A and B are shown apart, each in its own frame.
Chain A
């Protein structure tokens, strides 16, 4: 480390400087901000005929001025029209959307808004369980999408919530409190319930003004504005009034790691909440700690992990299974639509499977270090419907190489899909472009991994284990917490405790939205401290 700025680095810098010089010499044209004369050809619609999306790219009804911070060059935007933007979306979708052949071809001129048109560019198919086949069709403001932060840092209270009941009498429970946050320092813990905010009764108030006040407070992002929360403490119900103001909170993505002693050896417990860059180093440290404790099994708590970097998922899967099981095997292979079977249509790279990554890649650990391994043939995974995407890849990737995954908890979200976000004219579009499959070629878990069977369920999505609800009466990592306890129970007896259902039990129950007839719902984002938006 001490030599990090040695002469070699200086030579590298000199090389970089040469590259910079070259870029300077050759970059004049690309960097020029001289206005471009509109050259938009007449745009016409012919059913079933799709010109290349590049034909319509960056022809904007409102071109952006200035420099794109992502590229350091002027925005490519030029004067165009909403019609051109819609034609871009039509062609882009037809080329890259995973289910492009299920999209109804619509004349862009007949749908007024660009975003309205985008919303038509998706499949309307429904899964066997009643869910829409595509629940992942989004847009985002491009400037907001490219915002940067210190890894894991966002502005909020440091509390994640669960709206157990979103209608009067409401029940809003603290799921997790980030260590070191104002809330943690004030003694707010997992399982506490919110009774009121700024004097508004959160449980019963059903007036529009009351709901708006509650939503404003829960989604507050102004750091100078504080709100008075009244909590009922877990267990005792004692009331605690806490004044909270949003702050820049640092998320610890691996907050609990411990070895739990049992008669048959130590069982590791690892709480992993987000595949952000800082998790790479923390997961390495966690696995080293568990390895040193000679754990015989691992309980991997992914109940709140919505995914993130796929490489980190691959690294963790390798650390669990070890080299003997994963060497030369596929962690995840991306499947694009039938037009793109050889090369990645966005990067142009040849489509190669992602292996189980066996070393650090430099997200937060020094690159090139071999990863520690636990060499397990079985893992217990704690899940809820928030266990999503890259977290599901861990489950699927491990199953693909013969590691038994015992699932304890609720169904996972069911997101074997991914996309390359696409900017056009200041809006970033997200449309499903690929599906991930494991070593065995399985990736049909769009309805989630589940321990309960249902008609039409792919065999690969059915796991052994127990259906268990999240237990707010205990801290995460407490062996008395229901999900952790059931994992230990299954390990000891290969059964679920009485009252818990297993794969052989009744049909699965999916959570559905409560009835609107019950009253006005409070629109609570699951993680308002990481999300400045509120929906009514």
Chain B
């Protein structure tokens, strides 16, 4: 039963995210450097979404609007155990500024994840 409840909650979140972004201005965005609070919100959102701890660099989504998550390569003595990986999954996320808020989009599913109390910046085009 808890499995169904969490599914419905997730579904509600997906639809809410979808409705909220429709019709509003949205642009790819980054986080401000050394914004520890926003980084913490991002980390928690990723862990919630992916269901396990995720190691991030302090500058995640600071210099790039895209974030790529993949399994840590298993190593022995510093060397890859594998080295010929066939199907290890990759999750790509893109950060968007929507109105005054921030939304993280999971590219594999289209899911939108709101990042409350996070300040998003639209990078200046060079």
A and B form one complex: yes
| CB atoms of B55 and A149 under 8 A apart | yes
Contact at B84–A307, with CB atoms within 8 Å? yes
A1 within 8 A of B: yes
In the complex, which residue of chain A has the Cβ closest to the Cβ of B19? A10
Complex Cα gap A362–B3 (Å): 31
- The number of residues on chain A lying at the interface, defined by a beta carbon within 8 Å of a beta carbon of chain B, is 79
Give residues of chain B (64-108) contacting chain A, Cβ–Cβ below 8 Å. Answer: 66-88, 90-92, 94, 96, 103, 105, 107
Interface check B7, CB cutoff 8 A: yes
- Among A136, A417, A526, point to the contact of B78 (Cβ < 8 A): A526
Answer whether residue B21 sits at the interface, using C-beta atoms and an 8 A cutoff: yes
B70 and A276: CB pair below 8 A? yes
- Cβ A306 vs Cβ B55 within 8 A: no
Q: Which residues of A489-505 are within 8 A (CB) of B?
A: none
SS of B interface (majority): mixed
Given A17-B11, A420-B86, the answer on whether A150 and B4 have CB atoms closer than 8 Å is no
Q: How far is the CA of A148 from the CA of B72 in the complex (A)?
A: 5
Beta-carbon contacts of A39-69 to B below 8 Å, as 1s and 0s?
A: 0000000000000000000000000000101
A13 close to B15 (CB less than 8 A): yes
Shortest Cβ distance from residue A79 to the other chain B in the assembled complex, whole angstroms:
23
Q: Which residue of A lies closest to B55 (CB)?
A: A149
Check B18 for interface membership: any CB of A closer than 8 A.
yes
B111 at the interface (CB under 8 A from A): yes
Provided the pairs A12-B110, A148-B70, A386-B79 are in contact, do residues A249 and B57 lie with their beta carbons within 8 angstroms? yes
Nearest CB on B from A87, distance (A): 24
Cα–Cα distance between A144 and B86 once the two chains are bound (Å): 19
A342 to B99, CA, bound (A): 54
Cβ contact within 8 Å between B78 and A530: yes
B50: interface (CB < 8 Å): yes
| Contact yes or no, A531 B78, CB < 8 A | yes
Q: Any chain B CB within 8 A of the CB of A164?
A: no
Whether A525 contacts B77 in the complex (CB less than 8 A), given A278-B68, A389-B82, comes out as yes
A-to-B contact residues, CB < 8 Å? 1-2, 4-5, 7, 9-10, 12-14, 16-17, 20-21, 23-25, 27-28, 31-32, 67, 69, 72, 136, 138, 140, 144-151, 153-155, 160, 247-250, 275-278, 306-310, 347, 362-364, 386, 388-391, 393, 415, 417-421, 428, 430, 436, 525-528, 530-531, 533, 535
State the 10 A-B residue pairs at the shortest beta-carbon distance, nearest first: A389-B83, A307-B83, A527-B78, A526-B78, A24-B7, A418-B84, A31-B3, A149-B55, A69-B51, A151-B68
